[in-house]
Amino acid sequence: MRSPYALVHADGEQLPFAGASFDLVLSDHGAMSWADPFRTVPEVARVLRPGGRLVFNASTPWLSVCSSGDSPSSQLTADYFGLHQVDEGRGASTFVLGYGDWIRLFRRNGLSVEDLVELRPPAGATTAYEGYVSFEWARRWPAEAIWVTSREDDRP
């Protein structure tokens, strides 16, 4: 029996789907972290049906502005304003925006913010992501956040 679902390998900046095809677009880091949000957000808005949601998990700007070397510090080490593409070395980049930049980008593309969940591990939690940030760091500042947005209008 053939499944009605297909796995599609595609560029998040040029989705191969018709407009208004999806009720939900979900990204756990992925395209919303390693592709330019000024290109991915318009594409997601295009393929979402009215009322559809974009939900994604991404690194926070806190992680970028506190990073020095391999791990974040408790000091600001980079500028917050003007965040966009952060060089990870060896040709890799992460894309990070400030909160206001994300909100303006969503609004320009007909998306409204329903929620922003800044992740904080509970006391005594453990992780499989050793080396990402220390437990102590993540208890003080959010390293990751989950954005929940919805498409507001019936744009062409």
**Where are the domains positioned within the chain?**
22-151
pLDDT of residue 39: 97
Question: How many angstroms separate the CA atoms of 76 and 21, rounded?
Answer: 42
Question: How many angstroms separate the CA atoms of 76 and 86, rounded?
Answer: 15
Structure tokens that stand for 75 in this block:
């000091």
Local structure of 106: helix, strand or coil: helix
Q: 149: which strand partners?
A: 54, 113
Q: Residues of the chain with pLDDT > 70: what percent? A: 96
Taking the alpha carbons at both ends of the chain, their separation in whole angstroms is 36
pLDDT of residue 9: 85
pLDDT in tens, 98-124: 999 999 999 999 999 999 999 999 999
Which residues of the chain have a pLDDT value below 50?
Answer: none
pTM of the shown model: 0.90
CATH code of 22-151, in short, is 3.40.50.150
